[in-house]
Amino acid sequence: MQFKRVVVTGIGALTPLGNNLEDYWNALINGVSGATMITQFDATKFKTRFACELKGFEATDYLDKKEARKIDRFTQTALVASDQAVKDAGLSSKDVDPDRVGVIFGSGIGGLITFQQEVMEFAKGDGTPRFNPFFIPKMILDIAAGQISMRHGFRGPNFAVVSACASSTNAIIDAFNYIRIGKADIILSGGSESVISEAGVGGFNAMKALSERNDEFATASRPYDKTRDGFVMGEGAGVLILESLDHALARGAKIYCEIAGGGATADAYHITAPHPDGLGAKNVMLAALNDAGLKPEDIDYINTHGTSTPLGDGAEVKAILHVFGEHAYNLNISSTKSMTGHCLGAAGVIEAMACIQAVVHDIIPPTINHFHDDPELDDKLNFTFNKSQKRTVNAALNNTFGFGGHNAAMIVKKYLP
């Protein structure tokens, strides 16, 4: 089979650093921290009282008030990001066959805020089952993909992907595969997550996964720093318009980059901890390179999973050294989670956007909040600490790993006719 080439023709972004692609990218390359004290609920009794929230986002600024009430925050952000992406791609009904346009969308947790609210309301009552009729449709993971398709009238392949923090990367890889084998012309893909709530923060606190650096919240997300103590929770949504190259050229679309390939593996090791030698991470990077038909030395930049956890960062570095060998020292490596926090199921697409912009603009966003070298990590690697760096970026690799041992990696490269 002759695979079709797949390109990115539109981007929509809601991130802790900005509610559109331009603001997000400018904050990234300027090393801005998105961490603030939590405003979405009273966190005073929690071990962690800060997160990377969306700033100035009100769903009713974008959506009808009645419509907004019927959907969870993770779907609200998905719809707003999809609107941005469709507009950015210049999609119109005259350019597309709606039966050939799909939506493949990811979330790690889905409507946790709705679930929490409904159960808490029930618990306050007299035991009589009174639930909002929109409870289930607001909560289920697939509803964001469904709502996006209904909003835009797209009737092609439509489903949700869940693989914890690898969800949106897996969704993009699925979309890429559907298009390149000819099952769709265009697919909106990405992910969203909004679980900054009592249940979300309390649950991750109980696992000892979150940083508790409340007095230094702005610098708490510090990947590869010796003093890292856990991740900072983030939220947001991102949508990429993936399109076959021939379809994009036929309608005169602008092209950001080309999707080169992707891979998925499992650690088959532990429910939350990564394989200590980075076995799954190593295998998924090799799988992505093989799928893309690229050699390790073709990669210029890796946006790492880099969550700021003691075990995770070290395992990923071991994997990078194994896969890239001596070329590892020629790479730029950075974790943009140092700025956005960990956006869970939306992390992959939010970081894919950083890779795309790095390829477009030839700038590497930094890993901020570096204060102390970790002697367990190879200090000859270029982690792009604290300041962005200019360099030619022909190809960038994005790593995302999820609880349950799910690993996904994708590669984007400069579009060359």
pLDDT digits (tens, 9 = 90+) for 274-286: 999 999 999 999 9
- Calculate what percentage of the chain has a pLDDT beyond 70: 100
52, 165, 343, 355: the active-site residue: 165
On the question of pLDDT at 308 being above 90, the answer is: yes
Give the pLDDT score at 176.
98
Tell me the C-alpha distance between 379 and 385, whole Å.
Answer: 11
Please, what is the average pLDDT of the chain? 97
- pLDDT tens string 243-267: 999 999 999 999 999 999 999 999 9
**Per the domain annotation, does 256 fall within a domain?**
no
- pLDDT tens string 391-406: 999 999 999 999 999 9
Tokens of 127: 């035991």
Both 229 and 267 in a single domain?
Answer: no
Q: How many domains does the chain have?
A: 2
Among 234, 204, 223, 229, smallest CA distance to 315 is for: 223
Given 250, 276, 300, the domain boundary residue is 250
Contacts of 127 (CB under 8 A, 6+ apart): none
Given 218, 250, 282, the domain boundary residue is 250
Both 231 and 295 in a single domain?
Answer: no
**Per the domain annotation, does 131 fall within a domain?**
yes
Question: Which of the four pLDDT bands, split at 50, 70 and 90, describes residue 1?
Answer: confident
Question: Which of the four pLDDT bands, split at 50, 70 and 90, describes residue 127?
Answer: confident
What is the mean pLDDT of the segment spanning 344-365? 98
Among 320, 322, 261, smallest CA distance to 293 is for: 261
Question: Which of the four pLDDT bands, split at 50, 70 and 90, describes residue 93?
Answer: confident
Give the pLDDT score at 94.
84
Both 57 and 118 in a single domain?
Answer: yes
E strand or H helix at 365: none
Both 58 and 119 in a single domain?
Answer: yes
Both 47 and 195 in a single domain?
Answer: yes
Both 201 and 346 in a single domain?
Answer: no
Q: Does the active-site annotation cover 52?
A: no
**Per the domain annotation, does 1 fall within a domain?**
no
What is the mean pLDDT of the segment spanning 59-73? 95
Both 146 and 245 in a single domain?
Answer: yes
- Phi–psi pair at 21, nearest 5 degrees: -60, -45
Tell me the C-alpha distance between 311 and 278, whole Å.
Answer: 10
- pLDDT tens string 24-57: 999 999 999 999 999 999 999 999 999 999 999 9
Give strand pairing partners of 262: 410
Both 190 and 274 in a single domain?
Answer: no
Give the pLDDT score at 10.
98
Q: Does the active-site annotation cover 152?
A: no
Given 230, 250, 270, the domain boundary residue is 250
Q: Any idea what the CATH number is for the domain that residue 332 is in?
A: 3.40.47.10
**Per the domain annotation, does 257 fall within a domain?**
no
What is the mean pLDDT of the segment spanning 147-154? 97
Both 374 and 231 in a single domain?
Answer: no
Give the pLDDT score at 414.
98
What is the mean pLDDT of the segment spanning 175-184? 98
Give the pLDDT score at 18.
98
Both 290 and 239 in a single domain?
Answer: no
Tell me the C-alpha distance between 372 and 375, whole Å.
Answer: 9
Both 327 and 241 in a single domain?
Answer: no
On the question of pLDDT at 206 being above 80, the answer is: yes
Q: Does the active-site annotation cover 361?
A: no
Question: Which of the four pLDDT bands, split at 50, 70 and 90, describes residue 95?
Answer: confident
Print the domain residue range for 22. Answer: 6-250
247, 275, 305, 370: the active-site residue: 305
On the question of pLDDT at 11 being above 80, the answer is: yes
Tell me the C-alpha distance between 161 and 191, whole Å.
Answer: 9
152, 247, 275, 342: the active-site residue: 342
**Per the domain annotation, does 379 fall within a domain?**
yes
pTM of the entire predicted model:
0.98
Both 126 and 208 in a single domain?
Answer: yes
Among 241, 237, 238, 239, smallest CA distance to 89 is for: 241
Give the pLDDT score at 96.
94
Give strand pairing partners of 406: 266, 402
